[in-house]
Chains A and B, each alone.
Chain A
Amino acid sequence: MSGRRGGNRIRGPQSALTDFLAANNISAAQIRDEYERRLREAGQDENAGEGASNATPQQATATPSAVDTAEEVAEEEEEKTKKRKRSQKEAIDKIKKAKASKKPKKKGKGGGSDDDDDDYDDDFATDMYKKAKPMPGQFEHCEICSKRFTVTPYSKEGPEGGLLCTPCGKELAKEQKQEKKAASKPAGRRRRKLESDRLDGIASGGAKSLMQLCIEKVAKHHEDVEELGDIPPTVLEKLSEIFSKKRVMKSRTLRLFLRPDLQSVIVHDAAYLELEDYRQMFAIVPNMRRLVLANACQMKDEAVEYMIERCHKLQHLQLYAANLITNDMWAGLFQEMGQELEVVKLKWLDASFEDHSVREMVQCCPRLERVKLKLCRRIGEDAVAALAELPNLKHLSLQIGRPVPTDVLCSLVVQRGAALRTLSLEKFLDADDSILQAVHDNCNVLSKFRFCENDTATDAGYTALFTNWRNPALTFVDINSTRDVDNNNPEGPEEAIGIASPGFRALMAHSGSAIKHLDIASCRHIELSAFMDVFNGAQTYPMLEHINVSFCNRVDTSVVVGIFKSCPALKKLVAFGCFDVQDVVVPRDCVVIGIPRAADAIEQFGVGIGVDEAIGRMVEVGA
């Protein structure tokens, strides 16, 4: 449209003479006069459209005396050039729009509509007052490169207010775009990203580690990386993690992580990998001892067959969501590879893997030391009973959806307890005090104990477990969500279900010297007095790094202060839903997450102040 309008003035190639005259600016005066006349006409046209007969004050000031004559001419010509004038006005309109890009687009194709006429007038007048700009079709010298060019409705305005030639205009637009991008990103998104990183444990105050920076850089440019070279396996694992996190672990990138000398293949997101990729994996790294494939949803029987054929040294097998593997293949896998296997971790299996598969595993894998079975939908009681027969079991982690009778679980603990280093029982809702008693009686080398999401075991059971226990102090305790939830009884039962004050005191008395990780989230019955006694500042827990007291609603600010004092090694305190905690000042090297009334962030991070100073400041705030 504007092209056609421009055509009113630029009619094809010009004669050499016209070109020459124009090039030498011979008709400069005439050009200017004409220009001013046209501007004026356009202004009058606007007023006419508005219904106002008189020129506005802006216009009066904007048109210098030299225009007086032009005005007469304009009046004469007005009628016969009505049509042309209209298109000129539109062109002006257009060029102005192009220049003042900050103005929102509101003008219709048919020129200024009534509602924005005032606006138009204003801008128009000031524009004209500032500097007379050439019309589309005329020549102008570019403000930046000083080259001559033809003005079009699209010509951009330079930093000084002049017009720019097309190449310079493009450059400028590009720069502006980049600036906009750079300026818009920091505020919101960067801060959220930073908090997310901290919650992930990547960033911990101050600058990121050089390793982290490099890993992020490599992951960002994963498409350009040809090979990773002789990177140490630990770094390779970290890279693999971040590749999975960014969902770029595909056929091409997988190759980067396959090296014949490697002893492990670790892919935390194998969702994109297909049969061919699995073949490649087992072909290139036949000596792998450790295989971790999460989201292995495309891993089929053929892939497993090939693995059985190629990898004879596999000791550690960890598969999540490998639902295309049939029961027969599971059995075959354990029969063929069982002699070597020491670790089996399986999660999220719901299409196959039955109780008899577990039995097969127990029979074929005498060396199994570590077993984790979580969210495998088809296994239940029989599987638990079968696991009790594993002679070398040292680490056990179970989460089973189907109900498992307490006595079966108990007999497992009784039979294997003596050798267990770690025991994790999640969501065994019906497990009662007898399990805790079995742990107390049988386990004596346990270092990690998880018993969460249970609403049957009572505080007396926990107290008994942690009192006079032969087992040395635990380093990891997770007994979160051990409580009874009943909508008809929101205050909770009279007799405490789940760990309560005496149990908590007993736990910390037993394990306080070695405990590193303590999770007592949603343990509703622990009273303020118990927290105050345990974290009293005098008693210290030298190893304790990570505490989760979320939804322990008795926790208040003084408990948090006590935690800071009593735990010199504290790195992270999680306290969602502790509504009595206010105005915490966090000491150096420590992260506090989830304080509900934190003014600026969910997560608070200690900078540059020690525990004493932090506590001092808290007292000031409180006073």
Chain B
Amino acid sequence: MSSELTDYVTLVSSDGFSFVVQRSCACISGAIKRMLDPAYGFTESRTNTCRFENMSGAVLEKVCEYFYYKEKYQDAKDAPDMDFPLELALELLIAADYLDV
């Protein structure tokens, strides 16, 4: 497929929601960065799509929100904490551990 890197990549949740996010944001996650790195030759790097069977749409949405939040405050001295609903906290925790963010 496309050999050059696209600006946007697609993240798909277990329940079929897909989120198109900037590559630079998605690569904040060490796991996604490695998935998408052509050097490793994973399918994800050819399709520019990552499927996460262990994350629901709600969780993945928050994760994407976090990516943008993280990029926005990259060089900020005091970033305000991002808020998210309590019921997502544990699932997000597992997702964060998995994604290495």
Seen from chain A, the residues whose Cβ lies within 8 Å of a Cβ on chain B are: 190-191, 194, 205-211, 213-218, 221, 224-225, 228-232, 234-235, 605, 607-608
Additional A-B contact list (18), CB under 8 Å, known A206-B76, A207-B70, A210-B66: A190-B78, A191-B78, A205-B75, A205-B77, A206-B79, A207-B69, A207-B72, A207-B79, A210-B99, A211-B97, A213-B82, A214-B89, A218-B90, A218-B93, A221-B86, A221-B89, A232-B94, A235-B93
B27 at the interface (CB under 8 A from A): no
Seen from chain B, the residues whose Cβ lies within 8 Å of a Cβ on chain A are: 63, 66, 69-70, 72-79, 81-82, 84, 86, 89-90, 92-97, 99, 101
| In the complex with contacts A210-B63, A210-B96, A211-B101, A605-B77 CB distance below 8 A | yes
Pair A217/B79 contact, Cβ less than 8 Å: no
Partner of B93, one of A207, A231, A605: A231
Pair B90/A231 contact, Cβ less than 8 Å: yes
B62 (CB) vs chain A CBs: closest residue: A210
Main secondary structure of the interface of B (DSSP, over half): helix
A193 (CB) vs chain B CBs: closest residue: B78
Q: Note all chain B residues with C-beta closer than 8 A to A191.
A: 78
Q: Note all chain A residues with C-beta closer than 8 A to B70.
A: 206-207, 210
Pair A228/B97 contact, Cβ less than 8 Å: no
| In the complex with contacts A207-B69, A207-B70, A218-B89, A608-B75 CB distance below 8 A | yes
B101 (CB) vs chain A CBs: closest residue: A210
Counting chain B CB atoms within 10 Å of each CB, the highest count among A205, A217, A229, A607 belongs to A217
A231 shortest CB reach to chain B, Å: 6
Q: Note all chain B residues with C-beta closer than 8 A to A210.
A: 63, 66, 70, 92, 95-96, 99, 101
Q: Note all chain B residues with C-beta closer than 8 A to A208.
A: 79, 81
Pair A211/B93 contact, Cβ less than 8 Å: yes
Pair B97/A229 contact, Cβ less than 8 Å: no
Q: Kindly state the separation between the CA atoms of A217 and B76 in the bound complex, as whole angstroms.
A: 22
Query: Would you list the 10 A-B pairs with minimal beta carbon distance, nearest first?
Result: A214-B93, A608-B75, A210-B96, A207-B79, A211-B96, A207-B73, A210-B101, A217-B89, A607-B75, A214-B92
Q: Note all chain A residues with C-beta closer than 8 A to B97.
A: 211, 231-232, 234-235
List, sorted by A's number, 12 A–B pairs whose CB atoms are closer than 8 Å.
A206-B70, A206-B75, A207-B74, A208-B81, A210-B70, A210-B96, A228-B90, A230-B94, A231-B94, A232-B97, A235-B97, A607-B76
A354 shortest CB reach to chain B, Å: 44
B30 shortest CB reach to chain A, Å: 11
Q: Note all chain B residues with C-beta closer than 8 A to A218.
A: 89-90, 93
B93 (CB) vs chain A CBs: closest residue: A214
A219 (CB) vs chain B CBs: closest residue: B89
Q: Note all chain B residues with C-beta closer than 8 A to A221.
A: 86, 89
Q: Note all chain A residues with C-beta closer than 8 A to B78.
A: 190-191, 194
Pair B86/A217 contact, Cβ less than 8 Å: yes
A243 shortest CB reach to chain B, Å: 14
Q: Note all chain A residues with C-beta closer than 8 A to B73.
A: 206-207
Partner of B77, one of A213, A214, A224, A607: A607
Q: Kindly state the separation between the CA atoms of A490 and B79 in the bound complex, as whole angstroms.
A: 45
